[in-house]
RNA sequence: GGGGAGAUACCAAAGCGGCCAACUGGGGCAGACUGUAAAUCUGUUGUCGAAUGACUUCGUAGGUUCGAAUCCUGCUCUCCCCA
């Protein structure tokens, strides 16, 4: 058993559980900081563990394959050892780059041919070699290769894209079955539901994904520009079908409110670049709503970034100081903002977990979402 | 003392008769960012107005011209070279 549900919220579909991996147990709901290139940008592992309380971080197949390359990672003994991170890692397959780097790639039945954004060289990613690369990286949880379809996307294209993703999935699962982990511990493969904003396709895709009977399942292709309400509808449709007793991972989501709404609909795992990227760009997430710390009004506000914040930096440094650092382009500003935001995200899902266990998640969620959508 | 160059908006810097309320950077102000090509990108930045628009600007005082940041004269100031 890789996943155990500890309790369910009576008024929503939220649940609290534990996901067991080779590098540690992960309490869910969980937020996973994104560390695309083998680093959560600007954050030391020490801070990820002690300040942020991260349980698992992401890496990216496409980016790590291009740099430093699989030979280096293999020689290092896998990504965990290479980056000196002894806790769980999940790698995205490169399916998101099919979307975000769409100008630099061509799709074929075989896979995606990318023109490297670094040096222009050509690289083919297939269902099979994406598994091979993720075996070399050695993440605890690896993702099937998919096409993250853009938004808007017409129904005809959405079907075509979903079916391609399903065929790639069959090949991924097959190849996963005939290959072995390289470093002496087990890896889990998660398949990904697609289907754009179409309920019929989402349900069909969820049926397909459920039929693979993998230890966990993911929902992809959301938060790519569609309204949040549409995203919530898709999650509801899909989660009626995905097995209840396995973890559900909503990929790339999202805002604090998105996450709480996702939890309420039965999602267990989230990841998003928002806390780090937006933090670097001067946007803070707080219990009082979002803050653009670059704004003039914080210039002489010497109160802490977040007096009740989980991380030490949130309680120690003032808004005025962070305003100064960010305005001045100082690296410490990006670092403090990233740590604060990640700590906020982690404490938010930790509190959600406690509320689920107490059985009063639903009401708390509604109140919290209202506050989060404000602007401080 | 002699010779030369120049003064443009918060700063730097284009413009050298009408297409100039004035290119472009920086700074300022605001916005965006959702499985990271992002310590990035976008908008805005004389005054008033929601806007068509109106009004006041290119050291300063005059002049030439239908029309001047652009041409002429005086003045003030700055910088460079020689003695």
ipTM of the modeled complex: 0.94
- Residue A247's φ and ψ, nearest 5 degrees, are -65, 145
Could you tell me the distance in Å between the CA of residue A232 and the C1' of nucleotide B46? 49
Strand B footprint nucleotides (protein C-beta < 7 Å): 28-41
Structure tokens at A36: 């695309």
pLDDT of residue A376: 78
pLDDT of residue A148: 97
Helix (H) or strand (E) holding A188: strand A188-190
pTM of the model: 0.95
- Whole-angstrom CA distances from A92 to A2, A60, A190, A247, A334 are 19, 5, 10, 16, 24
pLDDT tens across the length of chain A (376 residues): 799 999 999 999 999 999 999 999 999 999 999 999 999 999 999 999 999 999 999 999 999 999 999 999 999 999 999 999 999 999 999 999 999 999 999 999 999 999 999 999 999 999 999 999 999 999 999 999 999 999 999 999 999 999 999 999 999 999 999 999 999 999 999 999 999 999 999 999 999 999 999 999 999 999 999 999 999 999 999 999 999 999 999 999 999 999 999 999 999 999 999 999 999 999 999 988 999 999 999 999 999 999 998 899 999 999 999 999 999 999 999 999 999 999 999 999 999 999 999 999 999 999 999 999 888 7
Give the three-state DSSP class for A15.
strand
Give the three-state DSSP class for A318.
strand
Rounded-to-integer distance, Cα A186 and Cα A216, Å? 14
Rounded-to-integer distance, Cα A164 and Cα A136, Å? 25
Could you tell me the distance in Å between the CA of residue A324 and the C1' of nucleotide B73? 52
Query: Which nucleotide's C1' sits nearest to the alpha carbon of A329?
Result: B39
Could you tell me the distance in Å between the CA of residue A115 and the C1' of nucleotide B20? 46
Write down which residues 215-274 in A have CB closer than 7 A to strand B: 218, 220-221, 223-224, 228, 251-255, 258, 271-274
Structure tokens at A117: 């954004």
pLDDT of residue A1: 72
CB-count exposure of residue A273 (10 Å: 0-12, 13-18, 19+) = middle
The answer to whether some atom of strand B lies closer than 7 Å to the beta carbon of A282 is yes
Which residues share a beta bridge with A126? A111
Structure tokens at A187: 């890896």
């Amino acid at each position: 058993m890789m996943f155990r549900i500890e309790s369910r919220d009576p008024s929503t579909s939220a649940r609290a559980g534990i996901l067991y991996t080779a590098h540690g147990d992960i309490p869910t709901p969980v937020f996973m900081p994104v560390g695309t290139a083998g680093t959560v940008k600007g954050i030391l592992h020490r801070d990820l563990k002690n300040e942020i309380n991260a349980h698992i971080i992401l890496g990216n197949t496409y980016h790590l394959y291009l740099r430093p390359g699989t030979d280096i990672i293999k020689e290092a003994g896998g990504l965990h050892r290479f980056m000196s991170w002894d806790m769980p890692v999940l790698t995205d397959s490169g399916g998101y780059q099919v979307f975000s780097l769409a100008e630099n790639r061509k799709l074929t039945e075989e896979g995606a041919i990318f023109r490297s954004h670094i040096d222009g060289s050509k690289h083919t990613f297939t269902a099979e070699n994406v598994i091979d690369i993720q075996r070399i990286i050695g993440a605890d949880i690896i993702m099937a290769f998919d096409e993250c379809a853009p938004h808007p996307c017409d129904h005809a294209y959405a079907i075509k894209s979903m079916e391609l993703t399903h065929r790639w999935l069959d090949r991924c699962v097959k190849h996963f079955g005939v290959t072995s982990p390289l470093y002496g511990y087990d890896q889990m493969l998660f398949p990904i539901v697609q289907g754009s904003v179409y309920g019929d396709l989402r349900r069909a895709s969820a049926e397909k994904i459920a039929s693979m009977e993998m230890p966990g399942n993911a929902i992809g292709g959301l938060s790519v520009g569609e309204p949040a309400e549409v995203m919530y509808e898709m999650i509801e449709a899909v989660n009626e079908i995905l097995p209840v007793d396995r973890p559900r991972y909503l990929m790339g989501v999202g805002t604090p409110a998105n996450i709480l709404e996702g939890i309420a609909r039965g999602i267990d795992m989230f990841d998003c670049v928002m806390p780090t990227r937006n933090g670097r760009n001067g946007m803070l997430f707080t219990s009082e709503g979002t803050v653009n710390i670059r704004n003039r009004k914080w210039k002489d506000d010497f109160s802490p970034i977040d007096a009740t914040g989980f991380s030490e930096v949130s309680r120690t440094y003032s808004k005025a100081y962070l305003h100064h650092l960010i305005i001045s382009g100082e690296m410490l500003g990006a670092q403090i903002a990233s740590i604060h935001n990640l700590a906020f995200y982690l404490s938010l899902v930790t509190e959600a977990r406690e509320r689920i266990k107490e059985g009063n998640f639903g009401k708390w969620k509604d109140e919290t979402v209202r506050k989060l959508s404000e602007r401080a």
